[in-house]
Structure 1
Amino acid sequence: MIRINNSLVGAVERKTLAWLVRRVPASIGPDHLTAFGIFGAAVTLLGYALTAFSPAFLWLASLGLVFHWFGDSLDGSLARFRKIERPKFGYFLDQTIDVIGNLLICIGMGLSAYVRMDVALLALAGYHALSIYALVKACVSGEFNVSLAGWGPTEMRLLIILMNTTIFFFGAPEFAVFGVALTWCDITIILMAIGFFTLFVSLLASYASELAREERPGRKEPDMGRGAAPQP
């Protein structure tokens, strides 16, 4: 399967990963890094939950996101660098483990003092809708898009870290919108979720139309034997 990453920070990320894989101790393997990524997501959840006591724990939540990136992004790169790839196992494990990591992070956001749980889970649903699109398209086309419209997991982590930093320095007071208590973080994440679902519908319609044209009933396949010598 061809792996395509055209994310906004993809070029910088690839250089960083290429530098890191050469410095990972021989005793650490890709599976260790995958587990470390889940550990990072758990640290993020803990950090967010502890913001009920102090906003300083937002830094712990952001550190967890860095750990999550390190494990999630480096495991496959390390396997390819050491030429120990297990394409089926690696693909299966990576995509299923991502569900757990994303869930831990979003539940953590919902447990924080700044984001409603229903808002955090709405964003998770939209993000997973795009993930499902990418996975289904990979089965059909043989191309796995790590990013969609220039956005991938790394960009999302950076955006969340930026949100955490902004909350720490400027706060996130509640205000009423149609009688519902929200923060600016809630509004931002709701808009993000709307963007996820809008992009999902747009990509789905576009690719479905492309496939429908390719497999239009009654369409004749190109004559691959044109110009060849007639068979007896």
Structure 2
Amino acid sequence: MSKQEINKKLFQDRKRTNILSDPEQRFISYLVPRIPERITSDGLTAIGFLGSIIILVSFLLAEYVDKDLLLLAIPGFFIQWFGDSLDGRIAYYRNKSRKWYGFALDIVMDWVSTVFIGLGYMLYTVGDFKYLGFALVALYGWAMIISQLRYRITDKYTIDAGLLGPTEIRVVVCLVLLVEVLFKGTIDYSVFGICIILFFINIGDTMKLLAVGDAKDKEEKLAKQQAEQTQENDI
């Protein structure tokens, strides 16, 4: 199977608009055929979940043992990306995809992972900055809800908010953690900035979603009126 055929097969179910989509898809296309058969789609999901646990543990170790151990979250994010990005793709590659099972599992695991990251930050930071952990989880949850509603209305599934997607967010958070190890206390202001950016992205995506929903309502209403008119003419 050629690289082009692999790409088409792996990413037929979703449209990506994020900045890193091209190199990310090429990397995934390289990895998927090399995953041993004994590693299943659910196994990859478990690997991604392990990455989320490593991230949470890194925050705890940084708080109670050594600040530098916060760097453990960086390989944790890679492990999380590896499992989360390849579980569904490996199912498509092996012709074993379960659309709704995979969709449901993916959403649940994304939410659990987000909660772990927010909880880890809340346990690590001090004072009123802890509320930012709640805000981060709530804002990411808002973004997840938007993606599900968009899927319901348009029947097109996308996990990106314009140029930003889960991969870009992981990269940004890893950079934030690296800077925090070098300059303690910077993470709080970085998380605040991320929350502000997510808030305005969500506002924009919500307005776009409402516009799509309104257009869909008008389309369905027009189709209904035309059907009724056709039925009256037949009578």
CA separation of 1:140 and 1:198: change in aligned 2, threshold 3 A = closer
Indicate the larger mover: 59-68 or 109-118. Answer: 109-118
Gaps of 5+ in 2: 1-11
Deviations 1:75-107 (A, max 9, x none): 011111111111121111111221111111111
Indicate the larger mover: 127-136 or 38-47. Answer: 127-136
Deviations 1:96-129 (A, max 9, x none): 2211111111111221237933211212111111
Give the aligned length. 217
**Which letter does structure 2 place at the counterpart of 1:194?**
F
Identity %: 24
Tell me, yes or no, if structure 1 residue 125 matches structure 2 residue 130.
no
| Structure ranking higher in strand proportion | 1
- Conserved? CA contact 2:47–2:79, under 8 Å: yes
- Conserved? CA contact 1:51–1:113, under 8 Å: no
Gaps of 5+ in 1: 174-181, 226-230
CA distance in 2, matches of 1:186, 1:5: 25
Deviation at 1:157, TM superposition (A): 0.6
Residue 72 of structure 2: aligned partner: 60
Deviation at 1:207, TM superposition (A): 2.1
- Conserved? CA contact 1:37–1:67, under 8 Å: yes
Question: Aligned-residue CA RMSD in angstroms?
Answer: 2.6
- Conserved? CA contact 1:116–1:186, under 8 Å: no
Tell me, yes or no, if structure 1 residue 47 matches structure 2 residue 58.
yes
How do 1:1-232 residues align onto structure 2 when only pairs under 5 Å count? Answer: 2-52=13-63, 53-113=65-125, 116-172=129-185, 183-216=188-221, 220-221=225-226
| 3-state SS of paired residue (2:117) | helix
Scaled by the length of structure 1, what TM-score is found? 0.83
CA distance in 1, matches of 2:208, 2:130: 27
- Conserved? CA contact 1:45–1:107, under 8 Å: yes
CA separation of 1:190 and 1:87: change in aligned 2, threshold 3 A = closer
| Structure ranking higher in helix proportion | 2
- Conserved? CA contact 1:2–1:142, under 8 Å: no
